[in-house]
């Protein structure tokens, strides 16, 4: 069949159904475009979800922790694992907070709740009755080492070459994981530390 015969046969049909044919052709174009966009979107979404899950898993593995021992007048004394940048306040929260019998006056005056906790730190919260016991300064020096994490201002001042300003610096830099941190945190100089190291402890 020649081209002229084909045109003569189908041209009237095309003219009659021209609008539906054009609409159908345009519809097929949009359908194909929509399928292409949908497939690309699904692929991108899968990549985003996979990357997000990978990042979450890696961040959970990489979070360093410290271990601290919290004792005394807290609800749940014990050893706790905390995030690396935890503060004293975070340690108290982890242990359930202060007991009713806790010496809150001591905590407010001597404990720096914003201080960072170091790995291996022991934090002791005294009971009210402990602080109410009258113990002479001389007896404290001769028979018991002063705990630099819990000692009062007057107890610290009783140490050799420790005045009020230095004693307050010691309190402000709490807690200490070891007595050597007095020098590391620049609360006292090396010469002062050498004179008081036999009279202090962190427990």
DSSP the chain: --HHHHHHHHHHHHHHTHHHHHHHHHHHHHHHHHHHHHHHHHHHHHHHHHHHHHHHHHHHHH--EEEEEEEESBSS-EEEEEETT-BHHHHHHHTT-B-TTB-HHHHHHH--TTSBPPTT-EEEEPBHHHHHS---HHHHHHHS-EETTT--HHHHHTSTT--HHHHHHHHHT---SSTTHHHHTTSS-HHHHHHHGGGEE--
Q: Is the pTM of this model over 0.75?
A: no
Model confidence at 189, pLDDT cuts 50, 70, 90, reads very high
Residue 186 pLDDT greater than 70, yes or no: yes
Q: Are both 139 and 195 inside the same structural domain?
A: yes
Please tell me whether residues 111 and 157 are part of one structural domain: no
Whether 98 and 157 map to the same domain: the answer is: no
Residue 52 domain-assigned?
A: no
Q: What is the pLDDT of residue 76?
A: 94
Cβ atoms of residues 159 and 193 within 8 Å:
no
Distance separating alpha carbons of residues 74 and 67, to the nearest angstrom: 17
Do 125 and 156 share a domain, yes or no?
no
Judgement on whether residues 202 and 157 belong to the same structural domain of the protein: yes
pLDDT value of position 12: 63
Q: Over pLDDT 90: what percentage of the chain?
A: 34
| Domain boundary residue, one of 108, 129, 150 | 129
Domain membership flag for residue 79:
yes
Residue, of 197 and 10, whose pLDDT is higher: 197
120 lies in the same domain as 145:
no
Looking at residue 151, which CATH number applies to its domain? 1.10.150.320
Task: Evaluate whether residue 152 is within a structural domain.
Answer: yes
Q: Identify the band that residue 133 occupies on the pLDDT scale cut at 50, 70 and 90.
A: low
Same domain for 122 and 138, yes or no, is no
- Domain identity same for 138 and 125: no
Domain boundary among 102, 129, 156: 129
What is the extent of the structural domain holding 34? 1-38
CATH of the domain at 119: 3.10.20.600
* Number of domains observed in the structure of the chain: 3
Q: Given 111, 129, 147, which residue is the final one in a domain?
A: 129
Rounded Cα gap, residues 20 and 178, in angstroms: 88
pLDDT in tens, 73-107: 999 999 999 998 899 999 999 999 999 999 888 88
Average pLDDT over residues 179-199: 92
59-68, 80-89, 93-102, 154-163, range with the lowest pLDDT: 59-68
Q: Which of 56-65, 67-76, 89-98 has the lowest mean pLDDT?
A: 56-65
For range 40-64, the mean pLDDT: 59
Residue, of 35 and 79, whose pLDDT is higher: 79
Domain identity same for 111 and 142: no
Model pLDDT, residue 119: 85
Does 117 lie in the same domain as 154?
no
């Amino acid at each position: 069949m020649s081209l002229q015969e084909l045109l003569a046969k189908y041209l009237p049909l095309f003219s009659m159904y021209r609008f539906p044919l054009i609409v159908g052709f345009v519809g097929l174009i949009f359908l194909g475009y929509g399928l292409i966009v949908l497939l690309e979107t699904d692929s991108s979404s899968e990549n985003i979800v996979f990357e997000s899950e990978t990042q979450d898993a890696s961040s959970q593995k990489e979070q360093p922790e410290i271990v601290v021992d919290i004792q005394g007048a807290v609800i749940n004394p014990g050893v706790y694992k905390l995030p690396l940048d935890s503060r004293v306040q975070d340690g108290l929260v982890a242990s359930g907070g202060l007991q009713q019998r806790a010496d809150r006056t001591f905590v407010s005056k001597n404990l720096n709740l914003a201080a960072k906790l170091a790995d291996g730190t022991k934090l002791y919260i005294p009971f009210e009755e402990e602080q109410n016991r009258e113990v002479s300064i001389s007896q404290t020096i001769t028979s018991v080492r002063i705990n630099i994490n819990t000692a009062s201002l007057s107890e610290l001042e009783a140490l050799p070459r420790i005045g009020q300003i230095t004693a307050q610096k010691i309190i402000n830099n709490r807690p200490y994981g070891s007595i050597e941190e007095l020098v590391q945190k620049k609360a006292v100089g090396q010469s002062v530390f050498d004179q008081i190291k036999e009279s202090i402890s962190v427990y």
